């Protein structure tokens, strides 16, 4: 199967499997797993923060981050399209009694700061307490501009909000901007980073922030059942993901641009700008369900919804992109 559904489908590399098989492990709930400790220490240092926490998923990293920032009755300001708000089962509200204040994302993925300001609640017992501003980078494959991040940090500071970045695909932003990820997250109170998407680790994310923040998050990780034992087996792959799998993301971006260009040559397909590894294609006059079904029979998996979504990653090559395009052409031809 050639799988364009997501970069989460990437398989661990041989080097990762070797490192996993040979990892030194201990009981991480006791803080005894040397490989988890190594990953957390390396991550904190890599990004210029005090501490890091290895979590079982990106959802869990964001959740325990929100729980560590906000208390019952607090609220966080977040994009309407943000993963934490839209695609994580409402965890902050469900498990943390944290009220989300969703705001529309602009077409570039940012949240308008004038509108964010207007959404901050007065200090009055009628209202939830506005505590946190949360951004996502990349969001829908789009990279938040660096000057916007600067303004957002100033906005948060001036208004007494903490600021979090859901950086599941932070490294894609870094590669696209040719700016070290450290600079992108600098000045944020916390961020999450997914190791198991384009970076190819089998499982795991990181939450990164101050010592105090991470110790609160560590407690919440245990509460939500995320205290893992000999997790060094997983962290071993995570170290390789963080240290060795970043540069190659550029190939995924190139393949995404190539795919977008090819799709734009086809009647009924329209792809706007592609910045990283996610291609959204708007279609007209095409039965996308039938296309998805047809491609599946040819051994190609894609996502359909409001648009078609194709994600490029380590386990799809440029040749696979060509195969996809050829098969779409065949579909269009046959259906005529
Ligand atoms: C994938 C993703 C997550 C969640 O990661 P899981 O490991 O699937 O729980 C969070 N935020 C963003 C932006 C993501 O793309």
pLDDT tens digit sequence for 241-292: 999 999 999 999 999 999 999 999 999 999 999 999 999 999 999 999 999 9
Atom in ligand 1 nearest the alpha carbon of residue 197: 1
Nearest C-alpha to atom 8 of ligand 1 is from which residue? 58
Residues 6+ apart with CB under 8 A from 110: 135, 144, 145, 148, 152
Regarding pTM above 0.95, the answer is yes
The model's pLDDT over 101-146, given as tens digits with 9 standing for 90+, comes to: 999 999 999 999 999 999 999 999 999 999 999 999 999 999 999 9
Atom number of ligand 1 nearest to Cα 82:
13
Residue owning the nearest CA to atom 4 of ligand 1: 58
Residue 237: per-residue pLDDT: 98
Average pLDDT, the chain: 97
pLDDT tens digits, one per residue of 31-80: 999 999 999 999 999 999 999 999 999 999 999 999 999 999 999 999 99
Is residue 146 within 8 A of residue 179, CB to CB? The reply is yes
d(CA 47, CA 66): 20
Q: Which atom of ligand 1 is nearest to the CA of 167?
A: 13
- pLDDT of 66 reads 98
Closest C-alpha residue for ligand 1 atom 15? 168
CB of 83 sitting under 6 A from ligand 1: yes
For ligand 1, say whether the CB of 166 is within 6 Å of any of its atoms: yes
């Amino acid at each position: 199967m050639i799988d364009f559904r997501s970069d989460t489908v990437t398989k661990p590399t041989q080097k990762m499997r070797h490192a996993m098989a040979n990892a030194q492990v201990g009981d991480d709930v006791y803080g005894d797993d040397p490989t988890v400790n190594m990953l957390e220490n390396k991550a904190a240092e890599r990004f210029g923060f005090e501490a890091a926490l290895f979590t079982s998923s990106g959802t869990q990293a964001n959740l325990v981050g929100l729980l560590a920032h906000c208390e019952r009755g607090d609220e966080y300001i977040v994009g309407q399209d943000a993963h934490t708000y839209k695609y994580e089962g409402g965890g902050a509200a469900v498990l943390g009694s944290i009220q989300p204040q969703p705001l529309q994302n602009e077409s570039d993925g940012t949240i308008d700061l004038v509108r964010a300001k207007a959404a901050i609640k007065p200090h009055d017992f009628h209202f939830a307490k506005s505590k946190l501003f949360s951004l996502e980078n990349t969001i829908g494959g789009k990279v938040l501009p660096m000057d916007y991040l600067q303004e957002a940090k100033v906005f948060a500071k001036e208004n007494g909000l903490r600021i979090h970045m859901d950086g599941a695909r932070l490294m894609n932003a870094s590669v696209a901007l040719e700016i070290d990820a450290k600079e992108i997250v600098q000045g944020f109170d916390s961020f999450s980073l997914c190791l198991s998407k384009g970076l190819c680790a089998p499982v795991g994310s990181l939450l990164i922030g101050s010592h105090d923040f991470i110790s609160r998050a560590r407690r919440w990780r245990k509460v939500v059942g995320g205290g893992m034992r000999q997790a060094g087996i997983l962290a071993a792959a995570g170290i390789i993901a963080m240290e060795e799998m970043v540069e190659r993301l550029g190939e995924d971006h190139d393949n995404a641009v190539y795919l977008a260009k090819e799709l734009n040559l086809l009647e009924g397909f329209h792809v706007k700008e592609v910045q990283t590894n996610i291609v959204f294609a708007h279609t007209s006059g095409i039965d996308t369900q039938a296309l998805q079904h047809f491609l599946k029979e040819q051994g190609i998996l894609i996502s359909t919804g409001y648009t078609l979504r194709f994600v490029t990653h380590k386990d799809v090559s440029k040749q696979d992109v060509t195969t996809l395009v050829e098969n779409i052409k065949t579909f269009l031809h046959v259906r005529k």
